[in-house]
Amino acid sequence: MKTIDNQTDGGSEATPGSYLTGFALAIALTVIPFALVVAGSAFPHAAVLSGIALAGVAQVLVHLHYFLHLNASTGSRWNLLAIVFTTLVLVILAGGSLWIMANLHQQMSPT
Partner 1 sequence: MEAMELTADTAAEQLETDADRAFGFWIYLMSDAVIFALLFATYAVMSRNYADGPSGHALFDLGHTFAETLLLLCSSIAYGFVSLAAARGRRAQALLWLGVAFALGLGFVLMELAEFNAMIAQGAGPDRSGFLSAFFTLVGTHGTHVSFGLIWILVMMAQVAVKGLTASVRSRLLRLGLFWHFLDIMWIGIFSIVYLPGVLQ
32 lies in the site for partner 1, by CB under 8 A: no
Helix axes 16-38, 45-66, angle to 10 degrees: 170
Q: Residue 68, class by beta-carbon neighbours within 10 Å (0-12 exposed, 13-18 middle, 19+ buried)?
A: middle
Q: Choose, by CB under 8 A, the member of 28, 40, 73, 103 that binds partner 1.
A: 40
Contact in structure between 29 and 55 (CB atoms under 8 Å): yes
Q: Identify the CA nearest to 18 among candidates 58, 62, 84, 55.
A: 62
Which residues 58-77 are close enough to bind partner 1 by CB under 8 A? 59-60, 63-64, 67-68
User: Which chain residues interact with partner 1 by CB under 8 A?
Assistant: 1-5, 7-12, 14-16, 19-20, 22-23, 26-27, 30, 33-34, 36-38, 40, 45, 48-49, 52-53, 55-56, 59-60, 63-64, 67-68, 78-79, 82-83, 85-86, 89-90, 93-94, 97-98, 101
